Structure 1
C-alpha cells in the first residue's frame, strides 16, 4: 500500500506582529531560566532588546548568547552546547536566520543527550538522539531557511556540510513575523529568498513529493517569485515582506515533508570549501541543476513556470520547462545573484573536489528525480562555472 507520512509542525504564530505572542508562549512553558541564542547583528541593531523586553518585564531570568557565525562550524555548535549544559537552562529561544535557529535546536536537544555533537552527524556519526531535551521557541528573522519548522541542524565541516536530523529538533513553538525581516539588507534578502525558492522547487520535484507537499510547494513558489524582487528593491515593502515570510514558511513545510535534492547536495561543498552563504550557494546552482535534470521532470517544471506566473497555454511540457529555466535566470539576475561559480571566485581547479564532496551527499541525491552519477555532478559544476545553460 502507498501512503504518506505528514510530518508534525510546531505551534506557529505567523503574520505581521506575530512576535506579540512570545510572552504568552513563554508563560505557558513556565521556565526557570532562559537561554536566548541570537545572531550578533540583531543585538547590535536593537532587535533582540525589543523582542525580549516583555520577557524581561515579566521577570524571567535569561542569558543572551551571540557567539555564533553564519554557516556555523561544528566547533561553533559544540561550544554553544557546552555553554548551555553548564547553565542549567529550562527553555531555549532562538532568534535569527537559519544558523542561529539550527544552533538553538542543538542547544535544546543536547541538554539531554550525552556526548559530542560530531557523534550524531549524518555522514560520519554513529549515535542517535534519544531524548527530546528542553523546550525551544524559534523566531525567524529572515525569509529563507525554514529552520523554524524543520527537524535538521546544518553544520560546516572542512570541505562540505553535514546535518544532524531527528524529530526532537522540531521546535515547540515557531514565530514568523515579517516585521522582523524589514532590517535585513538587500543582499541577504536575495540570498535567503533564493534559498526558500530552492526549498519549494526541490520539494515539488522530489521523488518523495506528495499532494500535501505539492500544494505547499506551489503556493510557496507563487508567493516567493511574486514578491522577492520587491522585497530586495524595497525592504520596507510590507506586502512583499509578508508574502516572503509566508512563502518561506510554506517552503519549509514542503521540504520538511518531501525533502530537498541535488541543488542542496552540490551547494553544501560550496559553503564548506568557499564559505559562500548557503542561499547564494543554492541560488547560483538552481538554473544549472534544473536544466540538467529537465528530462526527468518536464511536467513539474511546467507547473513551476505556471506558478511563477508564466503562460503554458499551447506549449508542450518540454517547452514549458525551458521557459521555466529562463524565468528562474531572470529572477536571480534581477535580485543580484552572480550567474556563475566564477562570480563567487570559485576556481576551475576546485571542481573535482567539489564533485567528490557533492557525490557523498547520498541522502539528498536520492531525492532527485534523475539519478546523478559523479560524472553528471562534475558536468553540472562545469556548466555552473562556464555559464552554459539550457541544453
Structure 2
C-alpha cells in the first residue's frame, strides 16, 4: 500500500508524552538534588566515556556529594549495540542499582532507555522490544538523561535506536523502538556541557537537528501541533549552528542549538 492509503484509515493522531526538563546554563548542577527527589539511592551511570572531558567524573562526584552511590558503565558504543544494553542490565542487577543516569548524546540515552525496558522485564533481550509499545510493564527504573550534544533529542522522545548484532554481521539490523514507557523521568539540557563537543561533532549534530525539524514539517501526517516547533527549530538552527560550531564556548550559539534540538525532537515525537 502507498503511504497515502495507509494514512486514510487513521484520522486520529497521537501525542506522546514528554518528560519534565531542566534547561539552561548550570542545569547539570541540579542532578544530585533532583535524583534524590526521584528516590535514587544507587544509580547506574551509562555513557560512552566522553573521552577527553571530565564531565562524567564531575557528575559522578556531584552525585556522591549528595549521598548517592554511583556505578559507572562507560562501554556504550556509537549506534548502541544490543550487547551494550544487556551488559549494562547485567551490571545494574549485580550491583543492585535502583535508577539510571545517562550522560552523552543519543547513543548513551538510547542504550539507557533500552536497559530500563529490559530491567522491567526481568532481563529479557532488548531485541524483543523492537516495534511500537512492545513493553508489557509500564513501570521501569527512573532515568535522568543528561545531554552533552545538541543533536538527537533522545532525552525528550519516546524512541530509541538499537543495533541487533544477532543478525548478519556484515549488515547488522539497526532498528528504532518506540515506547511510551521509555520516556525519561527528567531531561537535563545544559549548554555549558556542549563546550567540549568537537567542531565536527557539533556541525554533524546540527545537521541532525535540521533533519529532525524538516521531516515533520513536510510529513504527510500533517500533525498540526508539530508544525510550529518544527519550523522554529529550523530557524534556530539557521541562526545558531555556525556560532556553536566556530565559537564553541560562546553561550548564545550553544544555548540556541540546545533549544533547537529539543523542540525538533518534540516535533518528530
Same fold judged by TM-score > 0.5? yes
Contact 1:78 1:117 in 2 (8 A): yes
* Structure-to-structure mapping, 1:6-45, within 5 angstroms: 6-41=15-50, 44-45=52-53
Cα-to-partner distance string for 1:228-286 (whole Å, 9 max, x where unaligned): 11211121121100000000000010111xxxxxxxxxxxxxxxxxxxxxxxxxxxxxx
Contact 1:35 1:89 in 2 (8 A): yes
Contact 2:100 2:112 in 1 (8 A): yes
Which of 109, 114, 117 aligns to 2:117? It is 109
Cα-to-partner distance string for 1:56-86 (whole Å, 9 max, x where unaligned): 1122111011011111222222222222233
Contact 2:23 2:190 in 1 (8 A): yes
The alignment status of 1:210 with 2:223, answered yes or no, reads yes
Deviation of 1:104 after TM superposition, in Å, equals 1.1
The alignment status of 1:135 with 2:142, answered yes or no, reads yes
Contact 2:145 2:188 in 1 (8 A): yes
Unaligned runs of 5+ in 1: 257-391
2:29 aligned counterpart, secondary structure:
helix
Cα-to-partner distance string for 1:290-344 (whole Å, 9 max, x where unaligned): xxxxxxxxxxxxxxxxxxxxxxxxxxxxxxxxxxxxxxxxxxxxxxxxxxxxxxx
Q: Which residue of 2 aligns with 1:65?
A: 73
Q: Distance in 1 between matches of 2:23 and 2:41?
A: 26
Which of 167, 172, 178 aligns to 1:165? It is 178
Q: Distance in 1 between matches of 2:251 and 2:81?
A: 34
Q: Distance in 1 between matches of 2:66 and 2:30?
A: 14
* Structure-to-structure mapping, 1:376-387, within 5 angstroms: none
1:249 aligned counterpart, secondary structure:
helix
Q: Which residue of 1 aligns with 2:193?
A: 180
Contact 1:81 1:106 in 2 (8 A): no
More strand by share: 2
Contact 2:50 2:104 in 1 (8 A): no
Q: Distance in 2 between matches of 1:110 and 1:85?
A: 11
Contact 1:120 1:128 in 2 (8 A): yes
Contact 1:92 1:107 in 2 (8 A): no
RMSD of equivalent CA atoms: 1.9
Greater Rg, structure 1 or structure 2? Answer: 1
Aligned residues: 252
The alignment status of 1:99 with 2:107, answered yes or no, reads yes
Q: Compared with structure 1, are the counterparts of its residues 233 and 197 closer, same or farther at alpha carbon in structure 2 (3 Å cutoff)?
A: same
Q: After superposing the two structures, state which structure 1 stretch, 44-53 or 55-64, moved more.
A: 44-53
Contact 2:45 2:72 in 1 (8 A): yes
Which of 88, 99, 106 aligns to 2:96? It is 88
Q: Distance in 1 between matches of 2:116 and 2:239?
A: 36
Deviation of 1:41 after TM superposition, in Å, equals 2.0
* Structure-to-structure mapping, 1:211-226, within 5 angstroms: 211-226=224-239
Q: Which residue of 2 aligns with 1:152?
A: 159
Q: Which residue of 2 aligns with 1:237?
A: 250
Q: Which residue of 2 aligns with 1:383?
A: none
* Structure-to-structure mapping, 1:290-305, within 5 angstroms: none
Unaligned runs of 5+ in 2: 1-9
Contact 2:105 2:148 in 1 (8 A): yes
Q: Distance in 2 between matches of 1:33 and 1:22?
A: 14
Q: Which residue of 2 aligns with 1:228?
A: 241
* Structure-to-structure mapping, 1:218-367, within 5 angstroms: 218-256=231-269
Q: TM-score, normalised by structure 1?
A: 0.61
